Structure 1
Amino acid sequence: MSTAHTVRPLRRAVHAIRWYVRELSGEAVYDRYVAHARSCDPDAEVMTRREFERSRTDAREADPREGFRCC
């Protein structure tokens, strides 16, 4: 088997693992927010990651149906 045949599946696996970890950790949520905000209005001011995460946390804490727990 050539090197190209070995590297391609390895890259796919690394890409899939990275995607899975980002989805599981919630890191991809911010990227989707930015893409959505830019697609709706390219000139709109987009929240920073810190502002976005703070807003997300505040929304979860304010709504008990979201399942927020302090411990």
Structure 2
Amino acid sequence: MSRLIAAPRRAAAWLRWYVTELTGENAYERHVERLRRADPAAPVPSRREFERQRVDRRYGGDPREGPHRGCC
């Protein structure tokens, strides 16, 4: 009987992990882990700061500068 309960729980845990990896929800936690491993005294950005930097890196920052800010 316990196998019947454990299998769906394992499947749900795997699905949750997969979705959070796919959507990038775990990116902040991984970033904080890497910072702490490299230098435990290093300042850790807030989640909001991290997400803002991540979006700026991905999309190029200020939209008024155009879509190809760093290109050519």
Normalised to the residue count of structure 2, the TM-score between the two structures is: 0.77
Gaps of at least 5 residues in structure 1 are 65-71
Cross-structure match for 1:6 = 4
Q: CA RMSD in A?
A: 1.5
Out of 14, 19, 22, the residue aligned to residue 20 of structure 2 is 22
* 2:21 maps to amino acid: E
Alignment: residue pair count: 62
Out of 36, 51, 62, the residue aligned to residue 38 of structure 1 is 36
1:12-61 deviation line (CA, Å, top 9, x unaligned): 10111100110111101111101101111112111111000000111112
- Aligned-residue sequence identity (percent) comes to 45
Structure 1: distance between partners of 2:44 and 2:17: 23
Out of 54, 58, 61, the residue aligned to residue 56 of structure 1 is 54
Gaps of at least 5 residues in structure 2 are 61-66
